[in-house]
Amino acid sequence: MTKRSPILLALACTLAVSACGGPSETTPSTAAEGEHAPATTSSSAGLPKGNAQAGMELATKGGNGIAACTSCHGAEGNAPIDGMYPMIGGQYADYIEHALQAYRNGTRAGGTADVMAAQAKALSDQQIADLAAYFQSVPPRLRDLHAVD
C-alpha cells in the first residue's frame, strides 16, 4: 500500500457521501409535481423576497418615521446630495440587505452610520428586502474611470 492510498480512500468516501445527498424524505413538499416551490428568502441575508415597487414607494416617499432614501442618496439612489452619501442605484440587493441589517443591529460604523442606523432601526425585514429589490433594479450610473486621464 502506498502513502497516497489513504488520501485517495478519503477522497473517494467524501465524493460518495456528497453524491448521496438530496432532499430529506422527512421534509414535506409544498409544490406539486413538476412545479418549483416559491422562494421564501431572497438572499444570503435571510430576508423575505423583496418587492421593487414597494421599495420604490418607500425609497421616494419614506413613511412611518423613515425618511425617503432619495433625500440623501438622490433620484434613484444615483444623485447623492453630498459626496459622503454613496450611489446605491444598481447595487446588488444582497449588499444593501446586509448593510441595512448591520446598520440596524449597530455592527456597521463610520461615515454616515449614525444617520443610517436611525433609519434602519425603523425598517422591517420586508422593507429592507423591498428597498434592496428596488435599488438593484435601478440602472447604475457609475463611470468606468479607466479611460479618464
CATH class of the domain defined by 52-140: mainly alpha
Cell numbers representing residue 114 in the block? 449614525
Q: Cα–chain-centroid distance for residue 70? A: 19
Say whether 63 sits in a helix, a strand or coil. strand
Cell 422527512 -> residue:
26
Q: What is the mean predicted confidence (pLDDT) over 56-76?
A: 96
The pLDDT of residue 120 is 96
DSSP assignments along 20-88, one per residue: T----TTSPP-SPTTPPPPPS--STT-PPPP-HHHHHHHHHH-BTTB--THHHH-GGG-S-SSTTSPP-
pLDDT in tens, 16-25: 433 444 443 3
Q: What is the mean predicted confidence (pLDDT) over 50-54?
A: 98
Sorted by where each begins, the domain ranges of the chain are 52-140
pLDDT in tens, 72-116: 999 999 999 999 999 999 999 999 999 999 999 999 998 899 999
In whole angstroms, give the CA distance from residue 57 to residue 63: 9
**CB 70 within 8 Å of CB 55:** no
Point out which residues pair with 70 in neighbouring strands: none
In whole angstroms, give the CA distance from residue 48 to residue 92: 16
The pLDDT of residue 149 is 65
Point out which residues pair with 63 in neighbouring strands: 66
The pLDDT of residue 46 is 87
